[in-house]
Structure 1
């Protein structure tokens, strides 16, 4: 499946803490930057963190129930290969990242079975990373 890279700009109220999180904890390569924003290579996509006052969703996340868990909304992330997902989960645990939803397999034995995990960056932006053993299940009903 050939995909075009997406561009996503998110607000961060502590630019240095977010820069450290995405650079050191994730290990993402940094691109262009200024005193107010930083570009990152986010698994082949362009993530830009922009300095911005704290937003309502960063202050207190809304959640929706999914598979017995309270999923934070809004959130973003990437669908990774299974072994890359496992490696990322291990890396995040090594750095002491607190999970909103611990890494687990959702919809086990059902259509759309997937590994997933949720956590927050230092500015309260929610991230979800997933993996499918069968990527053909990505949009399955």
Structure 2
């Protein structure tokens, strides 16, 4: 189980710092730090650092094997995130869908794509025991 005194850290590439900062702040992430070569965010309680790497952008992103995101434990929070993404016209990579329908691991999910083609997944499992 996660301890509240630990923060997960993820570093990803970005092609433009201003565009990246605007996207993640619009998503609701707090800008923590900004330097000439990176921006750091509070990404739903964890740390995401976007390093300026315009030559390392995935031009044709695919959901698998590389993406990151949030798994909500509360359905209402998932629904709010989806409504917010729609309202703010955030760019969807995959519209909302149900995965593994009818199985114990069934979950709701949608994917957003950031300005550097990093894919972000937001999901909610009907059975909380399937989160891990």
TM-score range with shorter-chain normalisation? Answer: 0.7 to 0.9
Contact 1:8/1:46 (8 A) holds in 2 = yes
Aligned to 2:40: 39
Matched, 1:132 2:94: no
114-123 vs 27-36, which moves further? 27-36
Contact 1:79/1:131 (8 A) holds in 2 = yes
Matched, 1:85 2:85: no
Matched, 1:7 2:18: no
Aligned to 2:22: 20
Gaps spanning 5+ residues in structure 1: where? 64-70
TM normalised by structure 1 equals 0.82
Distance in 2, matches of 1:104 and 1:116, equals 6
Matched, 1:75 2:67: yes
**Aligned-pair CA distance for 1:72:** 4.4
Aligned to 1:67: none
**Aligned-pair CA distance for 1:108:** 2.0
Aligned to 1:66: none
Q: CA RMSD in A?
A: 1.6
**Aligned-pair CA distance for 1:110:** 0.6
Distance in 2, matches of 1:127 and 1:103, equals 13
Distance in 1, matches of 2:34 and 2:93, equals 29
**Aligned-pair CA distance for 1:116:** 0.6
TM normalised by structure 2 equals 0.87
Distance in 2, matches of 1:8 and 1:126, equals 13
Distance in 2, matches of 1:53 and 1:2, equals 34
Contact 1:22/1:28 (8 A) holds in 2 = yes
> Out of 100, 109, 112, which is 2:105 matched to?
112
**Aligned-pair CA distance for 1:20:** 0.2
Q: Secondary structure at the match of 2:79?
A: helix
